[in-house]
Amino acid sequence: MPKSIRNLPATGYAILVDGCVKAEFSTKDGVESGARDLKRRFPVLQVKVYDALAKMDHEINIG
């Protein structure tokens, strides 16, 4: 099967859930808050925050 393409944003920030873009944000505080809330509600999901400027992502862990 072909690997899915994530369609990452060129600017701003995004929440990635299990490798798929689910929401885009213009501020770092907004995306971090949204990702932490999502991870608290659904702890089994892999939730990451993508930073378009740095072209990097990091996983959100609640603990």
For residue 20, is it within any domain? Answer: yes
- Whether residue 52 is contained in a domain is answered as yes
pTM of the predicted model as reported, rounded to 2 decimal places: 0.86
Looking at the 3D structure of the chain, how many domains does it have?
Answer: 1
53 in any annotated domain? yes
6 in any annotated domain: no
For the chain, list residues with pLDDT below 50.
Answer: 1-4
Q: Which domain holds residue 32?
A: 13-59
- The answer to the question of residue 51 being in a domain is yes
Residue 5 pLDDT: 52
Residue 9 contacts by C-beta under 8 Å, 6 or more apart in sequence?
21, 24, 50, 52
Is residue 39 one of the residues assigned to a domain?
yes
